[in-house]
Amino acid sequence: MQSNNTQAILEVRALTKRYGPTLALSNVDLTLPKGKIIGLLGPNGSGKTTLLKIVAGLLTSTSGFVLVDGQPIGEGTKSLISYLPERTYLPDWMTVEDCLDYFVDFYADFDLQRAREMLSRLNVPANKRMKQLSKGTREKMQLVLVMSRRAKLYLLDEPIGGVDPATRDYILDTIIGNYDNEATILISTHLIADVEKVLDEFLFLKEGVITMHDTTDNVRETQGKSLDELFREVFRC
Amino acid sequence: MLGKLMKHDFRALSRTLFPLQIGILGGGLVATILSALSIRLSEASWAGANGSNLLKGLILAVSVTSAVLIGIAIMASLFVTLVLICYHFYRSFLGDEGYLTFTLPVSTSNLLWSKLLTGMFWVLINSVVVCIALLIYAVFGTTTSTLINIDVLQALRQFFTQILPEMSKYISIPVMAAEVIVVGIVGLAAQLLQVYFAIIVGGQVAKKHRVLAAIGMYLLINMGVGIVSAIFMSFVTLGESVSQFALNSAQEAGTFMSTIFGWYGVLFVGLSALFFLVSRAILKKNLNLQ
């Protein structure tokens, strides 16, 4: 199936995902352009992780379809997507060097030089095994691996959730500074105030339904609010 | 990409399986020394050495017990090897590492091939290591006076110089050997794929206690495979008209064995293809990493 929209990196049509009786995503339609940083925002259990996992190819949808750069999810789209899950997934026994070797082997777009520079800047020791690193350092390690690829679509699930504010700033600077203008970054996060400054667009996801998709500039100009304020208003308990 | 997958699977498995093989050889050597020691002490006791019979008896008991335990551990290492291979499969496919495995730009077939080939490699290595350990034990650990048990070496020599030539009058030894090797390899592949299949199905039917679910599925599948194999081989033996083989000569018995072996090969290839294709279909169409 080929996309009609050559500018879209991600097209989602009538996407539904059920976990038994629970509806995680309900008839989601979505088109994301190339070259944008987009926030996927919503409260816990709204379906953010489910959406990212379906696009990454880790979950099978109940119905609907997803196209990445015009291709259905499969081996081809996995070489275009750089996915950062919300959990640590690197094997405990691997050293930092082993992880770099792994990514060099499987991803033609992996920039080893860039990865080494970022690891050095974040003080991640190259000879340590994953089990010897703190949870925060492992998360940094994963982010470095993911952002060192020249991918077309980055899916980042809570990339700054587990790190201190200083590192958070560095990570966000890294995200902005290292991605290609043609690439799109979809960031899922609760820390809206921190990421707001880097977002071009945002999506509000509530109970598996996209309730708003707009540009952050438009929110500021038309509503006179920050994205954080709008989020608190929309999702007030 | 298959080569790269195998490289990393091999590296992951080697971490535990390489030391295990070294342990088997080390344990085999210890068992050999203890056995040789206990045999010599036993001989000395019977010879009527005075004074320290209690001590000798104690050393003898400890030596024999240790040698037996180490022997059992060596034989159990095949099971441990299989468990470690399956655990690696489980972690790579259904654990958190699945997030790494299933986002790689490689085909599901290659993922399965890599796990299968590296698993088979380590089972074969383990089998060779166990045979070496047992051979060392038989040659050096079972003699009373000399360093080497000549009888064992003579028995081996007799097998190659007398028994095999005698057998070759009735059956083609190279064909039989090739058949045993091929059927052994496809049988191993079928067995590993059956376990992998059980792990995958166990992961589908249970969200918690997946290991228990995988064990349950394995037992169920094993029953099914047993029934299918029995029916298949019944048809085969009927189809081959067993009565045609009067089996009243060694040559006919050899031919019959060779035919049955061939059909077992067909059965194992069929089972391997079935487990591989269904596993691949589940992973492609119904992957749900939680």
B99 and B42 assigned to the same domain? yes
Q: Say whether pLDDT at B244 is over 60.
A: no
Residue B247 has pLDDT above 70, yes or no: no
pTM above 0.90, yes or no: no
Which of A96-105, A106-115, A155-164, B130-139 is predicted least confidently?
A155-164
Whether the predicted pLDDT of B45 surpasses 70: no
pLDDT score at B208 = 80
| B160 and B274 inside one domain | no
Q: CATH homologous superfamily of domain A8-234?
A: P-loop containing nucleotide triphosphate hydrolases (3.40.50.300)
Last residue of a domain, one of B151, B167, B183: B167
For B104, which of A59, A78, A87 is closest by C-beta distance? A78
Q: At what angle do helices A135-147 and A112-121 cross, to 10 degrees?
A: 150
Task: Write down the mean pLDDT value for chain A.
Answer: 87
B39 and B133 housed in the same domain: yes
Residue A59 has what pLDDT?
92
Question: What single-letter amino acid sits at B33?
Answer: I
CB contact under 8 A, B105 and A102: no
**pLDDT at B67 exceeding the cut of 80:** no
At B35, the pLDDT band (50, 70, 90 cuts) reads confident
What pLDDT does residue B16 have? Answer: 93
Chain B nearest-CA residue for A83: B103
Residues B207 and B120 in one domain: no
Least Cα distance to B12 among B96, B69, B97, B112 occurs for B97
Residue A1 pLDDT more than 50?
A: no
Counting one residue from chain A and one from chain B, the pairs whose CB atoms sit within 8 A come to 59
Predicted confidence at residue A180, as pLDDT, reads 77
Measured at the CA of A198, the angle between CA A197 and CA A200, to 5 degrees, comes to: 105
Ordered DSSP codes for chain A: ---S-TTEEEEEEEEEEEETTEEEEEEEEEEEETT-EEEEE--TTSSHHHHHHHHHTSB--SEEEEEETTEESSHHHHTTEEEE-SS--S-TT-BHHHHHHHHHHH-TTB-HHHHHHHHHHTT--TT-BGGGS-HHHHHHHHHHHHHTB--SEEEEESTTTTS-HHHHHHHHHHHHHHS-TT-EEEEE-S-HHHHGGG-SEEEEEETTEEEEEEEHHHIIIII---HHHHHHHHT--
Choosing from B167, B187, B219, the residue where a domain stops is B167
Contact A55, A66 (CB under 8 A): yes
A5 has pLDDT over 50? no
Least confident of B16-25, B49-58, B84-93, B227-236: B49-58
- Cβ of A91 and B91 within 8 Å? yes
The residue-averaged pLDDT of B82-111 equals 93
CA angle A70, A75, A76 (to 5 degrees): 35
What is the nearest CA distance from B113 to chain A, expressed in angstroms? Answer: 16
Interface probe for A, chosen from B91, B103, B109, B114 (most Cβ of A below 10 Å), is B103
Flag the least confident range among B25-34, B67-76, B151-160, B180-189: B67-76
- Bridge partner list, A82: A154
CA B156 to chain centre: 22
The pLDDT assigned to B116 comes to: 96
Average pLDDT of the residues in A202-211: 91
Whether B152 and B198 map to the same domain: the answer is no
Q: What is the pLDDT of residue B48?
A: 54
Q: What's the confidence (pLDDT) of residue B44?
A: 66
- The residue range of the domain holding B134 is 1-167
What span, in angstroms and rounded, lies between the C-alpha atoms of A68 and B2?
Answer: 24
Q: Is the pLDDT of residue A3 over 50?
A: no
Residue B103 in contact with partner chain A when CB distance is under 8 A: yes
| Of the partner residues A60, A76, A107, the one whose CB lies closest to the CB of residue B288 | A60
Domain count, chain B: 2
**pLDDT over 70 for what percent of chain B?**
91
Q: Which residue has the tokens 């071009």?
A: A200
Confidence of residue A80 (pLDDT cuts 50, 70, 90): very high
Query: Given B91, B107, B285, which is nearest A60 (Cβ)?
Result: B285
Q: What is the pLDDT of residues A118-158, one digit of tens each?
A: 888 888 888 889 999 888 888 888 988 998 999 999 999 98
Same domain, residue pair B111 and B186: no
Whether residue B105 lies within 8 A of chain A, CB to CB, comes out as yes
DSSP for B32-93?
HHHHHHHHHHHHHHHTT--S-HHHHHHHHHHHHHHHHHHHHHHHHHHHHHHHHHHHHHHHHH
Cα B4 to its chain centre, rounded Å, is 26
A25-39 burial, b at 16+ Cβ within 10 Å, e below that, comes to bbebebebebebbbb
For residue A2, the model assigns a pLDDT of 41
Tokens describing residue A4: 């009609």
Point out the residue among A58, A87, A91 whose CB comes nearest to the CB of B103: A58
Q: How far apart are CA B121 and CA B105, in angstroms?
A: 25
Considering the domain architecture, whether residues B94 and B208 belong to the same structural domain is answered as no
Give the residue from B136, B167, B198 where a domain finishes.
Answer: B167
Do B125 and B184 have their domain in common? no
Name chain B contacts of A107, Cβ cutoff 8 Å.
105
Q: What is the pLDDT of residue B51?
A: 52
Chain A contacts to B (CB-CB under 8 A): 53, 56-60, 75-76, 78-79, 81, 83, 85, 87-91, 93, 98, 102, 105-107
Q: Quick check: A10 and A30 in contact, CB under 8 A?
A: yes
ipTM metric: 0.88
Optimal mutation site among A58, A104, A135, A141, interface B, most CBs of chain B within 10 A: A58
pLDDT at B240 over 60: yes
Predicted local distance difference test score (pLDDT) of residue A88: 87
For residue B169, give the DSSP letter.
Answer: T
Q: Does residue B47 have a pLDDT over 70?
A: no
